[in-house]
Amino acid sequence: MYNFARSLLFRLDPETSHGLALGALDTLHRVGGVQRVYGEPVSDPVELMGLHFSNRVGLAAGLDKNADHLDALGALGFGFVEVGTVTPKAQPGNPKPRLFRLAGHEAIINRFGFNNKGVEHLVAQVKKRHYRGVVGINIGKNLTTSVENALDDYLLCLEAVHGVADYIAVNISSPNTPGLRTLQFGEQLDALLGPIRSRSQELDSALGRKVPLLVKIAPDMSEEEVALVAGSIARNALDGVIATNTTIARDAVKSDPQSEEAGGLSGKPVFEASNRVIRLLRAQLPTLPIIGVGGIDSGEAAAAKIAAGADLVQLYSGLIYQGPGLVKACAEALKQP
């Protein structure tokens, strides 16, 4: 059924079809049809970061930036859903077109630029949710905020979402906000993560529960750079890491006429780059929880992420190409005997 729907959706502009697909999923959910179509969620419980995950398969940030579709997406059988990236103020993002399918490579290029309705809207939506799985919230900075003042935006978002999030992910690795990736390295990373960690601990004490703090990193790093990031994560006592975001590399898709579009490349071509970073992180941080994301298009690919060192996995581009059945296929492949 999904192959037929995809053939229709792929005739439309990618951003238009994205909105239509989410709207259709919302409608199906309202009439109780999601689980009738896609089956009951896979039960494979795991405890990690003090949280209970019903299975190891999650939805990556970016697909539901505003938590407008949280219940419908959760009904697909995800053990956790990450919403955002959200910024303190609403912003339109980059001019359209800003989403491109590289269908021959099962890949996507996006340059959305953190388009979202602002943190107040997202928090209100999360408060209304009926989905009982783990909900992560991915936070970033506004385009108009300088890199030098980025910490202010992250702290504003942290304080706004802390009371409704099951975990919080600090996004410093999107290639679509100028200068953002420079925050991943050296003193700048410590200067960012240190105050965020300190403030999160204060908020944890006030709330009476710990909200795990993670950081999301890019795949485009050398072994030495990954080691530097790992050192900062350890020094600042983060609770986990998400590896990885989209790549700026284009070697694997050079034959596609859209390969030179600016933005981050996701999907199948980022699979090995993501796994490489996961392996390096696992060697540096043997016990740190790692969420593996990038290029998962089958149960076998999800299992390979776990074999590389991830504890949980997230899907995004694979859903576009393979359909919602991918959630169950991955969860079954990772189910503990």
Nearest of 165, 171, 196, 167 to residue 184 by alpha carbon: 171
Question: Do 41 and 50 meet the contact criterion of CB atoms below 8 Å apart?
Answer: no
> What would the DSSP string read from start to end of 62-123?
TSSTTSTTHHHHHTTT-SEEEEEEE-SS-B--SPSP-EEEEGGGTEEEE---S-BS-HHHHH
pLDDT at 221: 87
- Annotated binding-site residue? 94: no
Q: Which of 54, 174, 200, 232 is catalytic?
A: 174
Residue 116, annotated as binding a ligand = no
Whether 255 sits among the annotated catalytic residues: the reply is no
* Interval 64-98: pLDDT, tens: 999 999 999 999 999 999 999 999 999 999 999 99
Instruction: Tell whether residue 113 is among the known ligand binding residues.
Output: yes
| CA–CA separation, 298 and 62 (whole Å) | 20
pLDDT at position 337? 75
Q: pTM above 0.85?
A: yes
pLDDT digits (tens, 9 = 90+) for 203-247: 999 999 999 999 999 998 889 889 989 999 999 999 999 999 999
Grade residue 137 by pLDDT with cuts at 50, 70 and 90.
very high
Distances (CA, A) of 160 to 11, 17, 170: 39, 31, 14
List b or e across 119-147, with b for residues whose CB sees 16 or more CB atoms inside 10 angstroms.
beebbebbeebebebbbbbbbbbbbebeb
**Which residues have a Cβ under 8 Å from the Cβ of 89 and sit 6 or more positions away?**
118, 142
How would residue 277 be classed by pLDDT, with cut points 50, 70 and 90? very high
Closest residue by Cα to residue 274 from 226, 323, 320, 322: 226
Dist. CA 191–CA 151, nearest whole Å? 8
